[in-house]
Amino acid sequence: MKKIGIFYGSSSGTTADVAERIGKELGVPSTQIKDVSKASADDFDAYDVLLLGTSTWGDGDLQDDWYDLVDDLKKKDFTGKQISFFGCGDCESYPETFCGAMGTLYEDLKGTGATFIGSVDLDGYDYEDSQAIIDGVFIGLPIDEDNQDDLTDTRIANWVEELKSHF
């Protein structure tokens, strides 16, 4: 199996919790689940598959810890690596930017040579718009722990199965 690294930015702890849950579902050791506030761009080199998690703030902004790191990641050559995204958002309070930060990460990294996997169908989500919708699907796994926490475990399990089909 390919070596998977899970990297997340989390201000309130929700995205960190989701990262741990995804890691558990995939059987990824906790040593391969990393807070981006403590990571460098070189840490990403050790992995074949990168699962990148961010919460969405304000008008679709990245979680703060991503900003400095993503500037370094944009310069990397990720040819041969697979990248997928997961994001936390609030579809009721911020329906016009729901989980949009995943789209921001995608836009920042689409020129790195990586292959993007793990898109999610729009069905079952209640929102107005999102920067994370690329070609009619979410670019990764959107999670709303504020309003749809009862769906999170099923969504993670389904997404993980989708990811595994690419490994």
Q: Per-residue confidence of the chain (167 residues) as pLDDT tens digits?
A: 799 999 999 999 999 999 999 999 999 999 999 999 999 999 999 999 999 999 999 888 999 999 989 999 999 999 999 999 999 999 999 999 999 999 999 999 999 999 999 999 999 999 999 999 999 999 999 999 999 999 999 999 999 999 999 98
Q: Tell me the CA end-to-end span of the chain in Å, nearest whole number.
A: 7
Q: Where are the domains of the chain?
A: 4-164
Task: Tell me the C-alpha distance between 126 and 73, whole Å.
Answer: 32
Q: For the domain bounded by 4-164, which CATH number is listed? A: 3.40.50.360
For residue 13, give the amino acid letter.
Answer: G
Tell me if 20 sits within 8 A of 33, measured CB to CB: yes
How far from chain centre, in Å, is Cα 51? 6
For residue 1, give the amino acid letter.
Answer: M
Residue 42: how many CB atoms within 10 A of its CB?
9
Q: What's the pTM value of the predicted model, to 2 decimals?
A: 0.96
What SS3 state is found at 5?
Answer: strand
Tell me if 53 sits within 8 A of 37, measured CB to CB: no
What SS3 state is found at 9?
Answer: strand
For residue 95, give the amino acid letter.
Answer: P
pLDDT at residue 58, as a whole number: 82
29 class by beta-carbon count within 10 Å (0-12 exposed, 13-18 middle, 19+ buried): exposed
